[in-house]
């Protein structure tokens, strides 16, 4: 089976923030293969390019050179088979807990009934069943996690074992 994520010789070059006349290469000739169900941590000091790499994997950033494949297919645009947990919880404060959890599913056009079913299942998994209606609930990070994990329903049930990559930064 093709890997869930394949970064082949990826480089990312930006205009330097300090001096826009200069170019800055944040990621250089990086190859990373992640199999389905595999847990991988990318560890390194601040500024070494971890988030840049995840942004490439999520399809938020096209690499300057190199190739990205998702389950064997070249990635074009957003990686719809990935959920992305940002460094900050990035919750939408005007939405209650369950509405935050199902946001990704909703944006993807999944029916509300199905989205609510999957969202509530994820709240249960992270120990927050019954908190769906809360506006300022405890354990905000766990809601974000549930949203990140549930954001990619694809055609499968919301289960990390079923062909989804969850990216966390």
Ligand X SMILES: Nc1ncnc2c1ncn2[C@@H]1O[C@H](COP(=O)(O)OP(=O)(O)O)[C@@H](O)[C@H]1O
The residues binding Mg ion (CB under 5 A) are: 50-51
Which region among 44-52, 71-79, 94-102, 146-154 touches ligand X (by CB under 6 A)? 44-52
Orientation angle between helical segments 112-125 and 140-150, nearest 10 degrees:
130
Residue 44 CB, shortest distance to ligand X, in Å, is: 6
The residue assigned the tokens 């991988």 is: 40
145 Cβ contact partners less than 8 Å away, ≥ 6 residues apart: 85, 126
Contact 110, 158 (CB under 8 A): no
Residue 52 CB, shortest distance to ligand X, in Å, is: 3
Among 47, 74, 109, 138, which residue sits at the site for ligand X (rule: CB under 6 A)?
47
Per-residue string for binding with ligand X, 70-99, x by CB under 6 A?
Answer: ------------------------------
d(CA 87, CA 83): 13
Residue 90 CB, shortest distance to Mg ion, in Å, is: 14
d(CA 75, CA 69): 5
Q: Which does 113 bind (CB under 5 to 8 A by kind): ligand X, Mg ion, none?
A: none
Q: CB-wise, 86 or 107, nearer to Mg ion?
A: 86
Distances (CA, A) of 167 to 43, 53, 94, 119: 14, 10, 25, 18
Residues 11-30 that bind ligand X (CB under 6 A): 14, 17, 24, 26
Contact 128, 146 (CB under 8 A): yes
Residue 27 CB, shortest distance to Mg ion, in Å, is: 12
Residue 70 CB, shortest distance to ligand X, in Å, is: 20
Q: Give residues in contact with ligand X (CB under 6 A).
A: 14, 17, 24, 26, 44, 46-52
């Amino acid at each position: 089976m093709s890997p869930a994520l394949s970064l082949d010789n990826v480089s990312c070059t930006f205009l330097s923030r300090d001096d826009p006349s200069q170019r800055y290469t944040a990621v250089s000739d990086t190859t990373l293969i992640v199999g389905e169900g595999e847990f991988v941590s990318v560890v390194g000091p601040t500024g070494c390019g971890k988030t840049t790499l995840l942004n490439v994997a999520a399809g938020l950033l096209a690499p300057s050179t190199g190739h990205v494949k998702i389950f064997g297919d070249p990635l074009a645009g957003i990686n719809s088979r990935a959920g992305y947990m940002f460094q900050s919880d990035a919750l939408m404060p005007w939405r209650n807990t369950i509405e935050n959890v199902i946001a990704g599913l909703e944006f993807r056009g999944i029916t509300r009934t199905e989205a609510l079913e999957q969202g509530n299942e994820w709240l249960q998994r992270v120990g927050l069943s019954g908190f769906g209606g809360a506006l300022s609930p405890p354990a905000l990070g766990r809601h974000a996690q549930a949203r990140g994990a549930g954001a990619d329903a694809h055609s499968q049930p919301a289960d990390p074992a079923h062909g989804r990559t969850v990216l966390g930064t």
